[in-house]
Amino acid sequence: MGVAGPEVSADVTQMLEQRGIPYHPEHQINVVVPATRRLNFTDGASADFDLLAYVPPHRAPRVVRESGLTGESGWIAVDRHTLETRFPGVYAIGDVVSIPLRLGKPLPKAGVFAHGEAKTVARNIVAAVAGRPGENRFNGYGECFVEVGGGKAAFGGGDFYAEPNPVVTLRTPSRRSHVGKVLFEKSWLHFKL
């Protein structure tokens, strides 16, 4: 979780080490050999695995890439506070945007950020329709649970726009945070139904 800053990243790395889970940061997988449960990385290193949960390279949907809204990165550049694109009155939120952070990584593509971005944009559009200035600003605040097993979860949150590094704290894993995670999930599932 390097995007959350060095302290949170160190905490997560320690949680992995405590559970005997190898961590290979900044390695890109080149080849997966299922028969031997082996990963080969582009830098020549390799590692064994018991369970592989792999996320393929992420990119914007074709319709977005072909819209003329994306830049060289393949994502839509927006004003980090208003989510307005280079076209006045046109906004983009969520996974299709790229919001660079000072530490050289983009704001994570996570629901918590998309939710905050959506609220900001919706309020500013309502203000524009009502003839008022849109003064709502997305502040880069986000939070999440980190499930660690054994009925425990850690909870982290903070200002991802802080400079020079995000100011994010990660609470020690607890049963209380796990219960909070379960209740949070249930509230979203109930809301969506």
157 close to 143: Cβ distance less than 8 angstroms: yes
Among residues of the chain, what percentage have pLDDT more than 70?
Answer: 98
Tell me the pLDDT tens digit for each residue of 124-171: 999 999 999 989 999 999 999 999 999 999 999 999 999 988 999 999
Q: Is the pTM of this model over 0.75?
A: yes
Q: Which two tokens stand for residue 44?
A: 């020549």
Angle at 130 between CA 126 and CA 135, to 5 degrees: 60
- Residue by residue, DSSP assigns 3-47 as GG-HHHHHHHHHHHHHTT----TT--EEEEETTTTEEEETTS-EE
Residue 23: per-residue pLDDT: 84
Q: Kindly report the CATH class assigned to 58-138.
A: alpha beta
Residue 193: per-residue pLDDT: 54
Residue 191 has pLDDT above 80, yes or no: no
Tell me the pLDDT tens digit for each residue of 82-129: 999 999 999 999 999 999 998 888 999 999 999 999 999 999 999 999
Among residues of the chain, what percentage have pLDDT more than 90?
Answer: 73
Angle at 2 between CA 34 and CA 98, to 5 degrees: 90
What whole-number distance in Å separates Cα of residue 120 and Cα of residue 134?
9
* Averaged pLDDT score across all residues of the chain: 92
Return the H-helix or E-strand segment holding 148. strand 141-149
Residue 192: per-residue pLDDT: 61
Tell me the pLDDT tens digit for each residue of 28-78: 889 999 999 999 999 999 999 998 887 778 899 999 999 999 988 899 999
71 close to 79: Cβ distance less than 8 angstroms: no
- The widest CA-to-CA distance across the chain, in whole angstroms, is 64
Residue 33: per-residue pLDDT: 95
Alpha helices in 130-193 (DSSP H): 175-192
In the chain, what are the domain boundaries? Answer: 58-138
